[in-house]
Chains A and B, each alone.
Chain A
């Protein structure tokens, strides 16, 4: 009789417990809380939330044109987030991503310059555009990897925490960028923080009537598949995960942890460099001081949400760039600051962390958790 009663009577606490501990519903709750907080922020400045969300929607998904623009920014966003999967897996915080993207872009544009300003009669000028693009991307990858390796070396051999090393190198990279675009690389006569535009034969082929390049989109999709396979289907990925989960035991079990950590920095830098090179060859077609676009800093938040699952970065990166693109219209349509996208993204991650914590506490699974103990 008593068992029958407890089964048939809807137990309210159990129901709430289920909502809070289920992965999907707790994510849903986090999203709602983030939206509520955003509404609160909007109401503080006495704006109309409904109208604002409409602007966000039309600016990001409201038209075909807007959607192609979002897809275009999705490429660097997803590439940056994928790179961070390697360092996150190894338990490292590569805040230096932003600077690595900038250095990648500088290297990529640097190669382009060699061909752009070559003597028209020389051999260099007759190299087909496609090969120049490939070379330029490879140079970008090299630059990003070097910049990441520096942070890794400082961490491994100098004991400098990768957060501070990375930040320092971000600022140095930005200084180099400013020096170049306002100094030796500025177009003759003007100094507007941007270099001379690449000639059209050095642009990544793009769809007629839009800036979207199917090539770069393809590279991003392939990258998602490759990183998923490497991290979730290979021995290397498993070892890297072991290093991230428990550095000391992995070392004792014979994994050269230092080498793995350096390798994860290099891999991350490769993706950062690729991101920068994509920005130059397929999107901006110039080098300017805003070229890294905050993708490195945003990538860390995408990575946190993705929780080391490369496949999941794709949709999350899409949401993030859609928010950023949508918010870009706020200035024009509502005279509001476009930084609202950062507020929404940040509170979203924060509430996901809160809900993760609630779930951990309720299910008492927090011993040896991924993000604690640092």
Chain B
């Protein structure tokens, strides 16, 4: 196989890792019933923090740890304002998205142009010698390997353990979970913090491996919103969410590859390609929920209707029922 092709697929895998951290983090947070809308800002702030810490201390590990802490602090702020002070998660999340982004650009301005830091790649001895798959999947950074692991661990935790069942419960029917003995609000805090920390790792991964810290020119603006959309597109399921992340990065990559074919079009125009597709994707997964679709389908002949509704049902996702609603035990 052509080594150029292998290289491009390998970089798609590497670029997907921060998106996966973001999507899985948000999936966990939203499964618990808290919507962390601040992603677009917190991703940029944690990218800045990770870069600054790693530059000053020379330690990648410390950069990731502090970025994760900042990420979970931001997420916890949303949870506290929602659970304790009954403020809307959307309002708080939006304000945090805006202010953390400004904060990152303001505090990180003096670090623009500092030497690029690149997390070293680690070749896994035996696996990396498998033809084709080896150099793509097993010649990556440690954090990329962790992203593979994260998908699997999150899936098992969510669907194969008792704690995962409780996690689903506090997002779907918090009162039922409460009656079964779950401390709904404490669990919401814990999962929000974990989700936020994963977002922070994603942010640091951008500045320490996939891209670098370059202030407003880092090209991170917008990714947070896409991650929120992928979470919905993936139906709050870690594996589907991860597939969505890979798909998004492939699209982004195509935008860059196809650019030379259209020399008259500004390079930033094609980078927008994922956004209309995001709207379409959301339309597909949501349209099955609309009333008018049911009404229109009712007028169609039986066989056609059955096929269409089967397709719609297969695509349809619906959010955790208690997403965004503060829990109160009466």
A contact residues vs B (CB 8 Å cutoff): 41, 44-45, 93, 95, 154, 157-161, 163-165, 167-169, 171-172, 174-175, 178-179, 182-183, 297, 300-301, 304, 336-337, 339-343, 345-347, 349-350, 353-354, 356-358, 360-361, 366, 369, 371-374
Interface residues in B185-226 (C-beta closer than 8 Å to A): 215, 222, 225
A182 to B276, CA, bound (A): 21
Q: Indicate whether B275 reaches chain A with its CB closer than 8 angstroms.
A: yes
Contact at B102–A339, with CB atoms within 8 Å?
yes
Residues of the A chain whose Cβ atoms lie less than 8 Å from the Cβ of B122: none
Residues of the A chain whose Cβ atoms lie less than 8 Å from the Cβ of B175: none
Q: Report the interface size for chain B: residues with CB under 8 A from the other chain.
A: 51
A157 to B302, CA, bound (A): 23
Main secondary structure of the interface of B (DSSP, over half): helix
Contact at A93–B94, with CB atoms within 8 Å?
yes
Residues of the A chain whose Cβ atoms lie less than 8 Å from the Cβ of B222: 171
Q: Indicate whether B117 reaches chain A with its CB closer than 8 angstroms.
A: no
B contact residues vs A (CB 8 Å cutoff): 37, 81, 84-92, 94-96, 98-103, 105-107, 109-110, 215, 222, 225, 228-229, 232, 264-266, 268-269, 272, 275-276, 278-279, 282-283, 286-287, 289-290, 292, 324-326
Contact at A301–B86, with CB atoms within 8 Å?
no
Contact at B272–A171, with CB atoms within 8 Å?
yes
Q: List 29 A-B contacts (CB under 8 A).
A: A41-B106, A157-B292, A159-B289, A160-B282, A161-B232, A164-B225, A164-B228, A164-B282, A167-B225, A168-B276, A168-B278, A172-B272, A172-B275, A183-B264, A336-B106, A337-B109, A339-B102, A342-B99, A342-B101, A342-B105, A343-B99, A343-B103, A345-B98, A345-B102, A346-B99, A347-B99, A357-B86, A361-B84, A374-B88
Closest to B225 in A: A167
A28 to B269, CA, bound (A): 45
Q: Shortest beta-carbon distance, A51 to chain B, in Å?
A: 16
Residues of the A chain whose Cβ atoms lie less than 8 Å from the Cβ of B326: 372
Closest to B232 in A: A164
Contact at A164–B278, with CB atoms within 8 Å?
yes
Closest to B101 in A: A342
Contact at B81–A337, with CB atoms within 8 Å?
no
Residues of the A chain whose Cβ atoms lie less than 8 Å from the Cβ of B88: 371-372, 374
Contact at B87–A154, with CB atoms within 8 Å?
no
Closest to A179 in B: B269
Contact at B279–A157, with CB atoms within 8 Å?
no
A159 to B100, CA, bound (A): 29
Contact at A346–B268, with CB atoms within 8 Å?
no
Contact at A154–B99, with CB atoms within 8 Å?
no
Residues of the B chain whose Cβ atoms lie less than 8 Å from the Cβ of A44: 107
Residues of the B chain whose Cβ atoms lie less than 8 Å from the Cβ of A340: 102, 106
Contact at B86–A361, with CB atoms within 8 Å?
yes
Q: Shortest beta-carbon distance, A1 to chain B, in Å?
A: 40
A371 to B106, CA, bound (A): 30
Contact at A353–B266, with CB atoms within 8 Å?
no
Contact at B106–A343, with CB atoms within 8 Å?
yes
Q: Shortest beta-carbon distance, B152 to chain A, in Å?
A: 28
Contact at A350–B92, with CB atoms within 8 Å?
yes
Contact at A161–B282, with CB atoms within 8 Å?
yes
A159 to B315, CA, bound (A): 13
Contact at A41–B89, with CB atoms within 8 Å?
no
A165 to B85, CA, bound (A): 29
Given contacts A44-B107, A164-B225, A372-B326, contact A175 B268 (CB under 8 A): yes
A346 to B99, CA, bound (A): 5
Closest to B77 in A: A350
A165 to B283, CA, bound (A): 9
Closest to B266 in A: A182
Closest to B104 in A: A339
Contact at B266–A372, with CB atoms within 8 Å?
no
Q: Point out which of B86, B225, B229 has the most chain A C-beta atoms below 10 A from its C-beta.
A: B86
A349 to B41, CA, bound (A): 15
Contact at A154–B107, with CB atoms within 8 Å?
no
Q: 6 other contacts beyond A158-B290, A172-B275, with CB at 8 A cut-off?
A: A171-B222, A171-B275, A336-B106, A350-B92, A357-B85, A374-B89
A366 to B86, CA, bound (A): 7
Closest to B92 in A: A353
Closest to B102 in A: A342
A360 to B82, CA, bound (A): 12
Given contacts A45-B110, A353-B87, contact A164 B229 (CB under 8 A): yes
A340 to B99, CA, bound (A): 9
Choose from B100, B215, B286 the contact partner of A160 (Cβ within 8 Å): B286
Contact at A174–B272, with CB atoms within 8 Å?
yes
